[in-house]
Structure 1
Amino acid sequence: MSETTGRASGREKLQALKAAQARQQRQRKMLGLIAALVAVVIATVGIMWGVSSHQKSESDRKAQEAAKATGFITSVTSVPTASFDQVGVGAANAFPKPMSGSQPMTQDGKPRVLYIGAEFCPYCAMERWALVAALSRFGTFTGLKPAVSSPDEGPLSNIQTMSFLDAKYTSKYLVFTSYETQDRLGKPLQQPAAADAALMQRFGNGGIPWVDWGGVATSGVGYDGNMLVGKTNTQIAKALSDPKSDIAQGVLGEANVVSAQLCVLTKGAPANVCSSPGVKAAAAKLPQ
């Protein structure tokens, strides 16, 4: 190899080395930039998660604080007949369905109604408003307490309501058996009796709340309960006094449907309830 050729080869190697070093430098810079971007993204996500968690926690705290009011329960258990009648079927959108092979239940010589739900369940929270309003026309509740559904149900979190846990119901017309199977955080509460659990397993579709009305059943909530989102129990109860309100149209419409089904079980007693215009309007929607 000549001296000239050797020098040219040396320059090429040097240039190649410099080019490789430049590429490595660019790669290190790119990796550094990527790492910095990743760190920013992680930090941003962390901040957003922290803000979201704080907002969720604050919303849950406010819901539980607002639920301490108890005076609203009296309003729900004593809705005027005139309000029920003005609403009629209202915005009720689901009706009991026959359970083939099921027999009406009785206890102490009276028809028996079975409810299975849970405190975490937003749909149970919605349906209890109608159930309490309707059942209070046939008997008396004691021990009803304010409750709030799960804080982890997205847009349907923290629905304010009442719980049947530890509540008692007395009536000369019927027996009401209720189970709240889990609390608002999903921890076990009441275990249904074996026969009641078997009924739900046989005839239920897996959804709660599930109610056996004596040969017919309902699953879920019978009206659009989204209108309860963000409302305090006091606001919901107050809205029931205005038959034209969306809440009254939903809750009292469903309560009339429930009342009509109860009247089937009680053979039209009490007459002042079962012959009322609101209940008659709902009775026309029941399965024949």
Structure 2
Amino acid sequence: MDAVKLKLRSLIIMIVAIVVFISAVVIYLLVFVNGSATTAIGNNWFSIKGASPIINNGKLWVNFAGIEGCQYCAIERYAFFDALSNFGNWTYYGKNVDLNTLPTSNYSNTPQTNTLFYHAYEGDWTLNFLNPNLKYTSNYVNFTSEELYNDQYPNPTPLQSFTPLEQQYASKYDSGGAVPFSVIGGNFFEVGAGSSLAPDGTPIIFAGNGTGYMPSYIISQFNTSSSTISKGITEEADYITSMICSDINNAAPVCSSPSLPKV
């Protein structure tokens, strides 16, 4: 009888061990292989463990989602514009532009489809990604963006929607609906703005008078290496650049720059 009990006990222990092992494998597959576990890499950016870069037609998927009146979205647009310039060309009415050559006289106090800059409700002057004449082309990146709500505060209304793929990421990694919400390659994401913030948490393009620095002043700062605005936006742009480089196997010339952070 004791021998039977011992065998039964051993069998139960073996079954429990098998169940534990199978459970561990399932958890690993769900969490790591399918990319549920995340690791903070700096500047509000996270990497998704086990996730492979999403590349369509040879180009890496990069998405920015914001709200027209959001001050943190306002600063992040400059960083994305700067970073993406490393992998392709921005044009405005067919002419190549970068952060140093943007026509800063083309602005309006509210978002207009025909202006390049506008004054966001929360106080910052920002780039207008919805202007159809501002276009981006790249051999490496497929850049998409949405403005989820308009600038009609205090009661903004829905403006654009996530695609099903974007909604999948937003539901999983940004369930609180914070903006900006950005995804690079499907294996990096950011909730909120990155390093382009002052010590008090406000965007560095937000002037103390509450109206924000004018576009001409913001753009002029990129020719001043000691500028806080230039340093903050460039640091965030470098993170974005480094993540894109990681996903495209360092195929672009900029990827060899020693100044890029490790991600």
TM-score interval (norm. to shorter): 0.5 to 0.7
Higher CA-based Rg: 1
8 Å Cα contact 2:91/2:135 also seen in 1:
yes
* Local SS of the residue matching 1:212: strand
* Local SS of the residue matching 1:183: coil
Listed as ranges, the matches of 1:5-84 within 5 Å are: none
8 Å Cα contact 1:119/1:147 also seen in 2:
no
Q: TM-score, normalised by structure 1?
A: 0.59
8 Å Cα contact 1:99/1:203 also seen in 2:
no
Structure with the largest fraction of strand: 2
Q: Which moved more, 1:131-140 or 1:93-102?
A: 93-102
Give the structure 1 partner of residue 60 of structure 2.
Answer: 111
Structure with the largest fraction of helix: 1
RMSD over aligned CA atoms reads: 2.1
The structure 1 residue matched to 2:237, chosen from 237, 255, 276, is 255
Q: Which amino acid aligns with 1:256?
A: D
Percent identity for Structure 1 against Structure 2: 30
Q: TM-score, normalised by structure 2?
A: 0.64
The structure 1 residue matched to 2:150, chosen from 179, 183, 189, is 183
8 Å Cα contact 2:64/2:144 also seen in 1:
yes
The structure 1 residue matched to 2:192, chosen from 220, 226, 244, is 220
The structure 2 residue matched to 1:163, chosen from 106, 128, 152, is 128
Give the structure 1 partner of residue 4 of structure 2.
Answer: none
Q: Deviations over 1:216-267 (max 9, x none)?
A: 1111111215321121111011011111111111011111111111111221
Structure ranking higher on relative contact order (CA contacts 8 Å, 6+ apart): 1
**Structure 1: 5+ residue stretches without partners:** 1-92, 151-156
Q: Which moved more, 1:212-221 or 1:166-175?
A: 166-175
Q: Cα offset for 1:100?
A: 4.5
Q: Which moved more, 1:130-139 or 1:157-166?
A: 157-166
**Structure 2: 5+ residue stretches without partners:** 1-41, 93-114, 207-211
8 Å Cα contact 1:117/1:209 also seen in 2:
yes
- Paired residue total: 184
